[in-house]
Amino acid sequence: MLLIREVFHCKPGKVRPMIEKFLAMGKLGEQAGQGKSRVLTDFCGDRYWTIISEYEVPSMQAFEDMMAGKGMTEEMGKEFERIMEGYHELVEHGHREIYRIEG
């Protein structure tokens, strides 16, 4: 099992709109059979205005399938695009972390 963490450092004042996007995306992903995700925000840390979307996948192939939109209908794909429209305006930068769950 792998833990995937999408880490974004938002522009000041832009965390709430990004949270809303990730929560909506999580619901859409669940409908597509991609599993449940969690959204985390920083309480303290290296940088302010950090948001993390975290989910588990059984394998890298499952992750690649998810990133390719497997399980999503055309309508869901359009909704996904609508949800994420303009997200670049909310973010300074980000990165992905992938961890193997050992126990």
State pLDDT tens for residues 31-65: 888 888 999 999 887 888 999 999 999 999 999 99
Nearest C-alpha neighbor of 94 from the set 59, 48, 50: 50
Predicted local confidence at residue 43, as pLDDT? 87
| Per-residue pLDDT at 103 exceeds 90 | no
Predicted local confidence at residue 24, as pLDDT? 95
Q: What average pLDDT does range 83-92 have in this prediction?
A: 94
Q: How far apart are CA 28 and CA 36, in angstroms?
A: 10
Q: What is 2-100's CATH number?
A: 3.30.70.100
With contact defined as beta carbons under 8 Å apart, do 101 and 2 qualify? yes
Q: How far apart are CA 97 and CA 86, in angstroms?
A: 23
